[in-house]
Chains A and B, each alone.
Chain A
């Protein structure tokens, strides 16, 4: 696609429910990132994919959070048993092949705004 696409754009869920957030990176981009942006905070790294594998999951805040990527393309971030502190904007980003470790740009989606009530 023309850009990184994320869905849903906004999601309100009840505490304790599970949610899935989807990211469709730019076609051909091999690296994919998930970041979390809480109010008044910077962007918090969650997970990084290179192809379908996730060499770095160190940012996932708890075992309630998981992510997968299939076919080297679409990624899903799943939050189980949501808590109010999970309320945030979840941003996905991707980079083209060969630029995963260079200084080139990463491209962000518009994010999924999750509110847990």
Chain B
């Protein structure tokens, strides 16, 4: 069965600095999608970034980028120039291509220090 592991329950970063959140996953599939979701105190999950497994190029969305290592089954999120509004829970998620079920990690709580 596929699993997603986030080994950092909590991380802190100074405002304007860079932080990397870790995610590893376990699958025997070759075609799948990976996601990072942000959950602020409002509880609504917001998509931060997504990566197709067949693409070698790492996805980037403004200050957010990923380091996708398919062989190592690693999918880390880098947040550059951290802002106070980045403080939230971050969830890594996996979905096998052609299926509907998203599998989520346990989340990393990110604190941004002024």
Interface residues of A (CB under 8 A from B): 3, 31, 33, 35, 40-43, 45, 48, 50, 56, 89, 91, 93, 95, 100-103, 105-106, 108-111, 113
- Which of B4, B43, B99 meets A42, CB within 8 Å? B4
The reply to whether A43 and B91 contact each other, CB–CB distance below 8 Å, is: yes
- Contact residues, B80-108 vs A (CB, 8 A): 91, 93, 95, 97-107
Across the interface, which residues of A come within 8 angstroms of B47, CB to CB? 105
- Whether, in the assembled complex, B28 has its beta carbon less than 8 Å from a beta carbon of chain A, the answer is no
The reply to whether B95 and A103 contact each other, CB–CB distance below 8 Å, is: yes
- Whether, in the assembled complex, B42 has its beta carbon less than 8 Å from a beta carbon of chain A, the answer is yes
- Which of A102, A106, A109 meets B102, CB within 8 Å? A106
**Which of the listed residues A43, A56, A91, A110 has the most CB atoms from chain B within 10 Å of its own CB?**
A43
* CA–CA, A102 and B103, complex, Å: 14
